[in-house]
A and B are shown apart, each in its own frame.
Chain A
């Protein structure tokens, strides 16, 4: 029985407990104070509502001219119009396909290299300085070089995403792979496992859930770089749609493009979470 219900049973007792059922606002500034499931949802919705309320107010009052900041409804209308009339879905698909190419290429290399780095200090020592430095190289700075090397076709876009994702992802995977408890390894050795078996049957399955989480997090980087890569020149893509809109001063379309990236980000995030639950049902 929690403290709150005890207080209900003895209403005459003065409540000194910090956990008493005060209003939500009075608990807002207490560190680590729990909120209920309903309160959490209400607050989450409230955050979104406040954001749009500010936006609507600012554009409706003319505080910022519609040319610079169109109202949400205008952006939404524009979004539907470019989907219906300009084939914006093809742009979305073009960007998504690029991400799949560059991101999965990066993941396909980062997962084995990261897992090896995380579990074999020998290889970690060998590779870490290179990767540690490479992580700070901005993928966008590689674009001129990549254009010289690869031209401005699809492979150049893939390469930008690859460079942006591969290095940080590898290091994240190396770190999470290294955190697998030593006790798991030792118990397997005491059960007669050879080091190859410890790696294949214990260390790899033990770090997979964290690896998939790492993929989810670095997916955000991929969405950033696909837009940058497309700004250089592409037939279709969300980035190119944004760039063209800017040339014609169509602020509503620029914002519609940005919002679309946000929506796609949320969708991929949810997809990864669902995948995580499916693959690692034993953790839930």
Chain B
């Protein structure tokens, strides 16, 4: 596990010759084992911020520290899950999960162990030898999560992982994710534009705004854990939701 320290991060992309600021002076600290959601409308830079933490996008200014290490490139200490289409189609479920460990030349036995344990954790033991093509959208994302966890990362970075799923599947995936998070305690940064998803999952929500992309508000979600889908019906949940809707309106 590791904390994430984000210090004065700005990102500018060149658009039509001029630099456009995608992120402006973002500062926050994400604690060890904390579940943080980055919430905001399109163009608020939430995915950009996640990619900076992941090392896939370089910050124009500022720095990110994960644990004791300055982030300069992607690495197996930060597992990432993308919205869609990131499974390797020519590999079975098990081979996808084992991909990282094998790439890093872990001992054969350990690769097997890790993959077997994870395929069970995401309830896909019966599909271990299927190819992604044969799986539903929810199953595919479970493989993607298991694959990211296989390298035993200190931090799990998730970029709208359930955005393309139907409502029922999404709810089940959220519950499963919390269950996994409880069992394999990790720092999680989760990007979403879905307010309810953020409230349901997060310890803390960083609400982001546009032009330039920045953190506009920070909300600590003090709902009891373990959370199940019933908690969505509670009065406190509704209160959080209303507050955020108001916040995003102006």
What is the interface of chain A, defined by CB distance below 8 A to chain B? 181, 183-184, 186-193, 197, 201-202, 205-206, 280, 282-284
In the complex, identify which listed stretch (B27-35, B60-68, B77-85, B198-206) lies at the interface while the others stay far away: B77-85
Per-residue 0/1 for B35-77: is the Cβ within 8 Å of any A Cβ (1 yes, 0 no)?
0000000000000000000111000000000000000011110
Question: Of A183, A184, A190, which is within 8 A of B79 by CB?
Answer: A190
The answer to whether A186 and B74 touch across the interface, beta carbons within 8 angstroms, is yes
Instruction: List 17 additional contacts besides A183-B83, A284-B133; criterion CB under 8 Å.
Output: A183-B82, A183-B84, A186-B56, A186-B74, A186-B82, A187-B86, A187-B144, A187-B147, A191-B79, A191-B148, A191-B150, A192-B75, A192-B76, A193-B103, A280-B90, A282-B89, A282-B90
Complex Cα gap A177–B103 (Å): 22
Bound form: Cα–Cα A193–B55 in Å: 13
Contacting residues, chain A, for B74 (C-beta < 8 A): 186, 189-190
Q: How far is the CA of A197 from the CA of B148 in the complex (A)?
A: 17
- Knowing A183-B82, A184-B85, A186-B56, the reply to whether A191 touches B131 (Cβ < 8 A) is no
Give the chain A neighbours of B150 by CB distance below 8 A. Answer: 191
Q: Which chain B residues numbered 124 to 160 have a C-beta less than 8 Å away from chain A? A: 131-133, 144, 147-148, 150-151, 157
Which residue of B78, B131, B133 is within 8 Å of A190 (Cβ)?
B78
Residues on the A chain within 8 Å of B55, using CB:
189-190
- What is the CB-to-nearest-CB distance from A209 to chain B, in angstroms, rounded to a whole number? 8
Q: Digit string of B96-129 for contact with A (CB within 8 Å is 1, else 0)?
A: 0001100110000000000000000000000000
Residue of B nearest to A205 (CB): B90
Establish whether residues A189 and B104, one from each chain, have CB atoms under 8 Å apart when the complex forms.
no
Contact flag A191-B147 (CB < 8 Å), given A183-B84, A186-B74: yes
B237 contacts chain A at the CB level, 8 A cutoff: no
User: Can you list 23 residue pairs at the A/B interface with Cβ under 8 Å?
Assistant: A183-B82, A183-B83, A183-B84, A183-B86, A186-B74, A186-B82, A186-B86, A187-B144, A187-B147, A189-B56, A189-B74, A190-B55, A190-B75, A190-B157, A191-B99, A191-B151, A192-B75, A192-B104, A197-B103, A205-B88, A280-B90, A283-B89, A284-B133
Bound-state Cα–Cα, A283 to B133, Å: 6
How near does chain A come to B93, taking the closest CB pair, in angstroms?
A: 11
A50 to B143, CA, bound (A): 51
Question: Which residues in B have their C-beta under 8 angstroms from that of A191?
Answer: 76, 79, 99-100, 103-104, 147-148, 150-151
Complex CA–CA separation, A280 to B99 (angstroms): 19
Closest CB-CB distance, A204 to chain B, in whole Å?
10
Interface residues of B (CB under 8 A from A): 54-56, 73-76, 78-80, 82-86, 88-90, 99-100, 103-104, 131-133, 144, 147-148, 150-151, 157
From the candidates B85, B88, B148, name the one contacting A202 in the complex (CB within 8 A).
B88
The distance from the CB of B118 to the nearest CB of chain A, in whole angstroms, is: 13
Residue of B nearest to A189 (CB): B74
With A192-B75, A283-B133 as known contacts, state yes or no: A187 contacts B104, CB within 8 Å. no
How far, in Å, is A178 (CB) from chain B's closest CB? 15
A284 to B74, CA, bound (A): 33
A6 to chain B, nearest CB (A): 22
Residue of B nearest to A284 (CB): B133
- List the A side residues contacting B78 at CB < 8 Å: 190
A-B pairs with lowest CB-CB distance, top 4: A191-B100, A192-B76, A282-B131, A183-B86
Complex alpha-carbon distance, A37 and B131, angstroms: 27
A206-B89 in contact given A192-B100, A193-B103 (Cβ < 8 Å): yes
Q: Which residue of A lies closest to B100 (CB)?
A: A191
* B residues near A189, Cβ cutoff 8 Å: 55-56, 73-74
Contacts of A190 in B (CB 8 A): 54-56, 74-76, 78-80, 148, 157
Looking at A188, A190, A206, the one whose CB has the most chain B CB atoms below 10 A away is A190
Q: How far is the CA of A192 from the CA of B101 in the complex (A)?
A: 9
Contact A181 B103 (CB under 8 A): no
Interface centre among A183, A187, A188 (most CB of B within 10 A): A187
- Residues from chain B with a CB closer than 8 A to the CB of A283 are 89, 133
Shortest distance from the beta carbon of B114 to any chain A beta carbon, whole Å: 12
State the Cβ distance, B240 to closest chain A Cβ, in Å. Answer: 31
* Interface hub of B73, B85, B144, B147 (most chain A Cβ within 10 A): B85
Q: In the docked arrangement, what's the CA distance between A189 and B83, Å?
A: 16
A187 touches B80 (CB 8 A): yes
Q: A186-B56, A282-B90 are in contact. Are A192 and B103 (CB under 8 A)?
A: yes
Closest to B51 in A: A186
- Smallest CB gap from A184: residue in B: B86
What CA separation (Å) do A282 and B131 show in the bound complex? Answer: 6
Q: Which residues of B contact A284 (CB under 8 A)?
A: 133
